Chains A and B, each alone.
Chain A
Amino acid sequence: MTNQAHLFERLAHTHKPDCVLSLEGPRPQAVPAPDALAATLGSDAIATYASACRPIYEDLRRIIGQVSGLLILAQLTTRRDILDLPELQNCDTRLKQAQERLSLLATPNGTLQHRAQLEAALSFCTAAMKTFSEMRGREALGPAIDLTGKQIKRAYVHLQAASSEKAGLAMVDFSQACCCGHG
């Protein structure tokens, strides 16, 4: 690798320890969610924002779940064809969809922090997908699996910080769960 390429790699992949996009950075705190903002700001724009967030949130939730599941299978089974499963291709499609949707998301006043969490989750999902896909053909999968695991975990905590059950941004669909009593 030339010095210039090395410098580019370093700039592209290195963040300050307190940067939100640092893999080892502090755990993000929950940010004001659209439902809370709507209650205080009472804005149609916030409601529109919350509605537009849902498909992005769902894309990211699914990518996180699928990549995590595939990581478990890659570690615990002898199947090396996991990288060729259609589910991984599906993650890639969802990732592109999320990128496009997020780029089109209008961000009214008060929602910047919330959007930043979605962007951070997307960024770590993108990194995880890249690391995971690059495992193909490698002899030793361990280091790449470890890195993908860290990246996807980080994506999860950012998405969790952007969660809001009332705004329809929830990690778990309880609608048919054991607990879905209507008492």
Chain B
Amino acid sequence: MADYSIWVLEYCYVPKYHKSGVIYGAHNQGYVKLPYCYVVIKGRDHVAMVDVGYNDKEYGKTLGDRFGVENWRDPKTVLAEVGIKPEEVDTCFITHAHFDHFGNVEDFPNAKFYIQEREISKWVWAMSLPDRMRWMMVAVDPGDIVRGVDLARDKRLVTVDGAMEDVLPGIDLHAAPDSHTWGSMWVTVRNDGKKASDDTWVLAGDLVYQFDNLKSSGAVVDVEEMYTPVGLAVGSQANLILATEEMMSQVGYEARRVIPIHEERLNDTFPSRTSKEGLRVTEICLADGEKSKVS
């Protein structure tokens, strides 16, 4: 029995991203393709998303010109691949405030947004620091925070302080303070609805970029496998490792159940197809009665 269907939908990509950004310490090891994705969770009379991507009107030219981001498509086009309209989305979990995760709230007019309170408060603090400490405030657009003010006024923004159980039935939020960002979080779907679930999925946000963060060679420290954190941490890589351990324990250490959204190889593990726009649609699981969107 499964309550929810989960799809990972690619909405653009960077063809060549330096590997050391993905894997801590992987210097001079070349480039990898980095897909940008968001997650759709459908079931129990809800359509939820994990992150909402960015709006190409605001950032498209800069990202295209400077960083080679290609093939951006709007949520209407991307969500249509799984038969959903942006207006049908009622809940959005924002794993962190970086522009490529929180940069398109306007396209989801009927959704309520959840974000960690710490993500806002520590960013405000970071913005107050001297210019020489500017590194600590990268990748957040003040415009997204401005739009957050409107969401809050309309009672469509909820700030969460730490963990929150059953935000939707069987869906929990977990905080990873001072990790990738000051108030990152991940989303856990207990797909059988049980407290001690045998069917748990973790949507990791940017706490895990790719499978290699969960399983890489541990030869350097004389173990078979180990976690290797992502390259970018405003907090610390140690906190990323601790968050990874908690995520892995929630899924009984079955690594395939921790879903990294920047992973190009998701289609090696889960049924996938490429849309006519050249973007990947990956089906993580299907709710009872739901038809496949990739076969």
**Which A residues lie at the B interface, using CB under 8 A?**
55, 58, 61-62, 64-66, 68-73, 75-77, 86-87, 90-91, 145-146, 149, 152-153, 156, 160, 165, 170-183
Contacts and interface: CB of A to CB of B under 8 A. Distances in A.
Given A173-B138, A178-B100, A180-B67, A77 B159 contact: yes
B149 A72 contact: yes
A68 B141 CA distance: 11
A149 B142 CA distance: 13
Interface stretch (B150-158, B187-195, B238-246): B150-158
B67 A72 contact: no
B128 interface: yes
A120 B59 CA distance: 23
B98 interface: yes
B248 interface: no
B271 interface: no
Contacts of A69: 120-121, 123-124, 127, 145, 148
Interface in B206-221: 206, 209
A174 B139 contact: yes
Contacts of A149: 149-150, 153
Given A66-B128, A149-B153, A172 B140 contact: yes
Given A72-B120, A178-B100, A181-B67, 13 more contacts: A62-B128, A62-B142, A65-B124, A69-B121, A69-B123, A73-B120, A76-B117, A77-B159, A87-B127, A156-B142, A171-B58, A179-B63, A183-B17
Contacts of B209: 178
A90 B131 CA distance: 13
B124 A70 contact: yes
A161 to B, nearest CB: 12
A159 to B, nearest CB: 8
Contact of B137 (A156, A160, A173, A174): A173
Interface residues of B, number: 53
Contacts of A160: 143
Contacts of A177: 98-100, 138-139, 232
6 nearest CB pairs, A to B: A183-B16, A65-B142, A69-B124, A177-B139, A181-B17, A90-B128
B274 interface: no
A181 B31 contact: yes
B34 A178 contact: yes
A70 B62 CA distance: 28
Interface string B154-167: 00011100000000
A171 B148 CA distance: 16
B278 interface: no
B177 to A, nearest CB: 16
B69 interface: yes
Contacts of A145: 153
Interface in B170-196: none
Interface in B119-138: 120-121, 123-125, 127-128, 131, 134-135, 137-138
B21 interface: yes
A65 B140 contact: yes
Contacts of A86: 128
Nearest to A85: B124
A131 to B, nearest CB: 13
B262 interface: yes
A61 B31 contact: no
Nearest to B180: A178
22 contacts: A62-B127, A65-B124, A65-B145, A66-B124, A69-B120, A72-B145, A73-B159, A76-B159, A146-B153, A152-B146, A173-B134, A175-B138, A176-B139, A177-B139, A178-B21, A178-B34, A178-B232, A179-B34, A181-B34, A182-B18, A183-B16, A183-B17
Contact of B149 (A58, A91, A152): A152
Contact of B66 (A66, A76, A174, A176): A174
Given A173-B138, A183-B15, A72 B127 contact: no
